[in-house]
Amino acid sequence: MKSSKSSKVNRAWINDHVNDPWVKLATKEGYRARAAYKLKEIDEVFSLVKPGQLVVDLGSTPGAWSQYLRRRLGNANGPAGATSAPNGTIIALDLLPMEPVEGVTFFLGDFREDAVLQQVVQEMAGRKADLVVSDMAPNLSGIDSADQARSVHLGELALEFAVGHLSPGGALLVKVFQGAGLAEFQRAMAGHFTKVYVRKPKSSRDRSRETFLVGKGLRG
């Protein structure tokens, strides 16, 4: 019985995925995942990505956000995303391997480990980041309270990294789940940024509990 239920859920997910307009658009425009449009929508509202920036992409795999950043900093032309040389620097990081994105420097590892963090800092070459984006999410256990706590914790780690490595006036975009701890995390961000916004993009599935916090104007 359990197997039958699981099979039905999997079939429903596959059906939704195949018929998802954002998935179809991502395929058409050469993005690795529909997640690119979440970043795109938020960027268009808050003007986060600008020429010449140093951007750090946390939790980058499979690379859709890095692709979007690369196109924005490289003056993308056309749906295929052909770009000129990037006017800016993109450093991506994840615990899972990521297929290369041209113009993006990727590190495999956990930025909480000194050796990995030092690789990132070395690549920054004495500069502070202008923008940190985090699409990190926990491996879901199915236990809502545990998954929520892990999601907020990942948000806190992204905030900690941003506070330590953003330039004054810089911005942070971070994904967290709606639920316990979100209000406290939002207040924590407000302690470091002059403005904090909450956004759920249209391309985020209705049933998803994910939401995105944007911190602008890191206090010096």
Residues 166-184 have a mean pLDDT of 96
Q: Which of 175, 195, 200, 216 is catalytic?
A: 175
Cα-based distances in Å from 71 to 6, 65, 81, 98, 104: 39, 10, 6, 17, 11
Question: What is the average pLDDT score of the chain?
Answer: 88
* pTM exceeds 0.85 for this model: yes
- The string of pLDDT tens digits covering residues 129-163 is 999 999 999 888 888 889 999 999 999 999 999 99
Q: Per this entry, what is the length of the chain?
A: 220
Query: Is residue 175 annotated as a catalytic residue, yes or no?
Result: yes
Predicted local confidence at residue 82, as pLDDT? 47
Q: Which residue has the higher pLDDT, 80 or 155?
A: 155
Q: Which of 9, 32, 37 is nearest to 207 (CA)?
A: 9
